Amino acid sequence: MTTQLSTPNPAKDRDRPDAVRPSKPPRSRARLLILPTIVLLVLALGYPVGWQLVTSFQEFGLKQQFGQAPEFVGFANYVELLSDANFWVVLGRSLLFCLLAASFTVLLGFLLALLMKRVHKSVRLILQIALLLAWAMPVVASMTVWVWLVDWRRGLLNWVLVKLGVDAQGHNWLADPVTFFITALVIVVWASVPFVALSIFAGLTQISEEMLEAAAMDGATGWQRTRHIILPVIAPVLSIVMLLQLIWDLRVFTQIKLLQDAGGVANETHLLGTYIYQAGVGSGSFGIASAVSILMLLITVGISWYYVRSLMKEEH
């Protein structure tokens, strides 16, 4: 449907008499060009978000699944959510997980980037290839490997721990919420560090060697050089990757869902994404699920705003 909508444009261009004067393009043509995008976005995203907004103000549970008309209940869903202790636990857990994952990712990425700057070219290349491999892995494929690594029967992790003298024989790390989230944190950080490290490294390459050498000759210590020369130059990259990580780690879903599948206790390990999935597809409480979704979208737009504005600055 979208393809049919978009094909007429070149044909129209060809037939227009003014088409040979590209320096004065008619505005309507630009509108025609963005029409397919708008139709697609309204259809696949706009309509669902609108439905969600309406439904979040409705009683929409199992009865409505079987045909009863939904009833408007004002802010009742939101009130129910905000007075539900369990929701606050999930929200707090999501925010904590997001903060921890983003901070570890940016810290490790920063350290690896500094390391890449110091080491010999060949070592740097090996590290870059390793990071790219990890980054390229499709998330579900990497999750099968991680589940196999931490498998309680034959996983490599427990074998190594036993060799190190830890009593881990047959221990299931996913069964306890705390070790479940430590495992998830390791996996998420492992997968996110490559993007951050390589982006920061690209920023570091803008710092001239001469400047660092001059500073060293003037007696600046390693920490002073990092603090006064390196950090100011890469501050923009650092803040952008931090923002992106916060946004991405707040929505983490696949890793949590698959670790739950592999044996985690679902009820004690929900983050926002899996909580919405459970409420909506799992229990059919679409009113509540919509309210959480709307809250999640609001939080994301709030955090994204600064990022989007900074991207817009280069687009005059």
The tokens for 138 are: 């499709």
Q: Is 273 in the site for other proteins (CB under 8 A)?
A: yes
**Least gap, CB of 190 to other proteins (angstroms):** 7
Query: Where are the strands (E) in 52-162, listed by range?
Result: 58-59, 71-72
87 interacts with other proteins by CB under 8 A? no
Query: 220 to 249, contacts with other proteins by CB under 8 A?
Result: 236-237, 240-241, 244, 247
Q: Is 215 in the site for other proteins (CB under 8 A)?
A: no
Categorise residue 150: left if φ over 0, alpha if ψ from -120 to 50, beta otherwise: alpha
129 binding other proteins? (CB under 8 A) = yes
- Residues 179 and 201: their CA atoms lie apart, in Å, by 32
Stretch binding other proteins (CB under 8 A), from 68-76, 84-92, 132-140, 223-231: 132-140
Task: Give the residue, chosen from 77, 142, 183, 192, that forms a contact with other proteins under the rule CB under 8 A.
Answer: 142
User: What minimum distance in Å lies between the beta carbon of 252 and other proteins?
Assistant: 9
Task: Looking at residues 94 to 123 of the shown chain, list those that interact with other proteins (rule: CB under 8 A).
Answer: 112, 115-116, 118-120, 123
Nearer to other proteins, 62 or 132 (CB): 132
Q: Counting contacts by CB under 8 A, is residue 193 touching other proteins?
A: yes
Considering only the stretches 4-12, 79-87, 99-107, 207-215, report the one whose residues sit in contact with other proteins under the rule CB under 8 A: 4-12
What is the CB neighbour count within 10 angstroms for residue 53?
14
**Min separation Cβ 17 and other proteins, Å:** 11
Q: What number of other Cβ atoms are within 10 A of residue 138's Cβ?
A: 9
Considering CB under 8 A, how many residues would be counted as binding other proteins? 118
Task: Supply the DSSP symbol for 20.
Answer: G
For other proteins, the closer CB: 141 or 178: 141
Torsion region of 165: left, alpha or beta (phi above 0 gives left; psi -120 to 50 gives alpha): left
- In one letter, which amino acid is 307? Y
Q: How far apart are CA 10 and CA 313, in angstroms?
A: 31
CA distance 81 to 287: 10
Sign of the alpha-carbon dihedral angle for 99, 101, 104, 108: negative
Question: Helix axis angle, 121-136 relative to 85-118, nearest 10°?
Answer: 150
Q: Which two tokens stand for residue 176?
A: 């306890």
Residue 72: CB minimum distance to other proteins, A: 17
**Which residues ranging from 158 to 177 are in contact with other proteins (CB under 8 A)?**
159
Which window, 72-80, 85-93, 98-106, 295-303, contacts other proteins (CB under 8 A)?
A: 295-303
How far is Cα 262 from Cα 264, in angstroms, rounded to an integer?
Answer: 6
Residue 227 CB, nearest approach to other proteins (Å): 19
What does the block give as tokens for 41? 């976005």
Task: Identify the residue among 176, 254, 266, 268 touching other proteins (CB under 8 A).
Answer: 254
Beta carbon of residue 254, minimum distance to other proteins (angstroms, whole number): 5
The answer to whether the Cα torsion of 132, 134, 135, 141 is positive or negative is positive
Binding string, 27-66, against other proteins, x = CB under 8 A?
Answer: x-xxx-xx-xx--xx-xxx-xxx-xx--x-----------
What is the C-alpha separation between 296 and 247, in angstroms, rounded? Answer: 11
The interface region with other proteins, picked from 68-76, 80-88, 146-154, 177-185 by CB under 8 A, is 146-154
